[in-house]
Each structure stands twice: as C-alpha cells, then as structure tokens.
Amino acid sequence: MISQIHSIIERFRSEPGPLILVLHAIQAEFGYIPEEAKAVVADGLNLSRAEVHGVVSFYHFFRHSPPGRHVVQLCRAEACQSMHADKLATHAQHRLGIGFHETTADGEFSLEPVYCLGNCACSPAMMVDGQLYGRMSNERFDEVLAEQQLPHQRPGS
C-alpha cells in the first residue's frame, strides 16, 4: 500500500495545490483514505499530519473506512423531498437494514446521503457506484438493488 501511495504522490507532486488530487487518487485506489496514508502523504507533500487530517475530515466525499461493494447515495435535498424522497429514504434503510453512513453486514452495500445530484427534474434521484438514477420509487429501488446483486455477466453472454 505504501509504495502505491508513494507513486500517487509522485504523480501529482509538481501540480500546484496537490493535496486533494492525491486524496482523490488514493480513494480511487483503495475506496477510502487509510489512516496510515495520512502520514505518508504529509511527508511526501511537506505538510503536517494535522493539515492532511484536516482536509480529509473536512470533505464529505472522503471516507475513513472501506465502503461496501456498492455505494448507494440517496439525494436528500429539497427538490427530491418535494417528490417524497423522505419515504424513499425510509424504504431504503428498511430494505438494507442499515442507516445512513452504514454498511450492510455482508459488505455488499453502503448507504450515504447526498445533497443534490443535479437531477432535480427527475426527482427523487439516487446514484449507485457513479451511475445516476431518476424518478425513483420504492419498487424501482428494489429493482436497482437486485440488478447490483446479479452475478456479473459479460456483455453478450
């Protein structure tokens, strides 16, 4: 892990203001920002550990622990609320058996709140692993969930 982080730091070291670029690359690699990465990044970018920790903890996007295999982000903002996103949130939590910021015991799903996905004319909206979904209903939520759990098929097979 440490050597991968070193090569990420090398990749961005000459960029102006590189810390967030480095953190994005680390999260893309590991799914989260491992605690042990902070000291390596601090050392590599000539920052204090406090500065690195401060940035990691400031931004909602950076995770402190590994996420589930699939990350479900439900929009909780006003436009989605006007189309009953609160009910969808209740359903999602019930269906997955977890609350927001939690991961199912089998490690399959993490549930996260998000404040606007820019899909406000097709509310309520959610995102699963970077894929956007609109006009969500409880039924459609169950369908999308089931699609994620299918064994991964090759296209055309």
Partner 1 sequence: MSTIVYIPKDAAALSVGADAVAQAIAEQARARSLTVTIKRNGSRGLLWLEPLIEVETATGRVAYGPVSLADVPGLFEASFLQGGAHALHHGLTEQIPYFKNQQRLTFARVGLIEPTNLQDYCAHDGYRGLRQTLQMGQAQIVQAVTDSGLRGRGGAAFPTGIKWKTVLDAPAAQKYVTCNADEGDSGTFADRMLMEGDPFALIEGMTIAGIAVGATRGFIYLRAEYPHAYRTLNEAIAVATSQGYLGANVLGSGHRFDLEVRLGAGAYICGEETSMLESLEGRRGEVRVRPPLPAIKGLFGMPTIVNNVISLASVPIILDKGASFYRDFGTGKSRGTLPIQLAGNLKRGGLVERAFGVSLRELLYDYAGGSASGRPIRTVQIGGPLGAYVPAAQFDTPVDYEALSEIGALLGHGGIVAFDDTVDMAHMARYAMEFCAIESCGKCTPCRIGSTRGMEVIDRIMVGVNPQQNLTLLEELCDTMLNGSLCGLGGMTPFPVQSALKHFRQDFLKFRNP
List residues binding partner 1 (CB under 8 A).
Answer: 16-21, 23-24, 51, 54-55, 58-62, 77-83, 114-123, 125, 127, 130-135
In the complex with partner 1, the residue whose CB is nearer, 78 or 97, is: 78
In whole angstroms, how close is the CB of 123 to partner 1 at the nearest point?
A: 6
In whole angstroms, how close is the CB of 59 to partner 1 at the nearest point?
A: 4
In whole angstroms, how close is the CB of 29 to partner 1 at the nearest point?
A: 15
In the complex with partner 1, the residue whose CB is nearer, 80 or 96, is: 80
Where b means 16+ CB within 10 Å and e means fewer, 115-142 reads eebebbeebbbbbbeeeebbebeeeebe
